[in-house]
Structures are given as structure tokens and as C-alpha cells.
């Protein structure tokens, strides 16, 4: 995690923690404080080659811990995702970085949807469009 990202994440946690008491009375009901979610990579309308893979880098911050993060990649008009997985970090500050194997998908426009849910079921969603090509 680079210094800029770490400082921004720490500032977000401090701001979120200062806003409300954590788990008032042990309640796990939604409290309206959604996780802060940033898709660092891919960028909007980024072009990638299917053989090169899709680098996914996100930062998620929440005062109640990020319970899980769902990742879904699907074609613009497709009902079924071509890639779908979940990670369960259970931490306040999450820096997730991976490269997805997309070598078997057809060229075209795809949407990467990232959804972070905290311990109180508050949800934050980000979507990024990616253009997959066969050549570099």
C-alpha cells in the first residue's frame, strides 16, 4: 500500500469513527454509514487485451470492518457474469490487488462491478466499464 493511499484510508477511518459510536448496544442493523469504496484500477473505459488479464485494485474503508467484497465482470448485455468471486477481509482498511484471467472471453465492452458490504450490511457499489481487445 503506498503512503498516499494509507494516509487517505487512515483519515477516512478516523472520520467515520468520529461520526458514531461503533456497534451501539451490539446492534448489527444498518446504520447508514456505507463503506468507502474506490476502484483504483481499471480506469474508466480502460482498454485491455484478453491475454494480458485484467488488473483489479480497490481500496475499501469502513468503521465497522468490511465484511465482504463481491467482484463481478459481465458483458454489457449479458445476464451471466464471466467472472464472479467474493473475498471476506473483515478489516477496517482493505487494499485488494489481483489480476483476473480473462483469456477466454470475447472482445467487447464489459462492466466490472465491485460491491463492499460492512458488518452492519451497509452496501457501497462501484462500476467501471472495460474494453477487451484481442491485440495490444
**pLDDT tens-digit profile of 37-63?**
999 999 999 999 999 999 999 999 999
Question: What confidence category does residue 108 fall into, taking pLDDT thresholds of 50, 70 and 90?
Answer: very high
CA distance 10 to 66: 14
pLDDT score of 13 = 62
Report DSSP letters for 8-32, one per residue: HHHHHHHHHHHHS-TTGGG--S--S
Cell of 14: 478516523
Q: What is residue 121's DSSP assignment?
A: -
Residue 58 buriedness (CB in 10 A; 0-12 / 13-18 / 19+): buried
pLDDT score of 7 = 64
Give the tens place of pLDDT for each residue, 8-32: 666 666 555 544 444 455 566 667 7
pTM of the full structure: 0.78
Assess whether pLDDT exceeds 80 at residue 77.
Answer: yes
Amino acid at each position: 500500500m503506498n503512503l498516499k493511499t494509507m494516509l487517505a484510508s487512515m483519515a477516512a477511518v478516523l472520520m467515520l469513527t468520529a461520526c458514531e459510536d461503533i456497534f451501539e448496544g451490539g446492534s448489527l442493523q444498518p446504520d447508514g454509514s456505507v463503506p468507502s469504496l474506490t476502484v483504483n484500477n481499471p480506469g474508466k473505459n480502460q482498454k485491455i487485451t484478453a491475454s494480458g488479464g485484467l488488473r483489479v485494485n480497490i481500496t475499501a474503508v469502513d468503521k465497522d470492518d468490511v465484511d465482504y467484497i463481491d467482484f463481478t465482470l459481465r458483458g454489457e448485455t449479458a445476464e451471466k457474469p464471466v467472472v464472479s468471486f467474493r473475498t471476506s477481509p473483515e478489516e477496517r482498511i482493505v487494499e485488494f490487488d489481483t489480476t483476473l484471467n480473462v483469456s477466454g472471453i470475447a472482445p467487447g465492452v464489459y462492466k466490472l462491478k465491485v460491491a463492499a458490504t460492512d458488518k452492519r450490511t451497509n452496501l457501497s457499489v462501484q462500476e467501471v466499464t472495460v474494453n477487451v481487445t484481442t491485440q495490444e
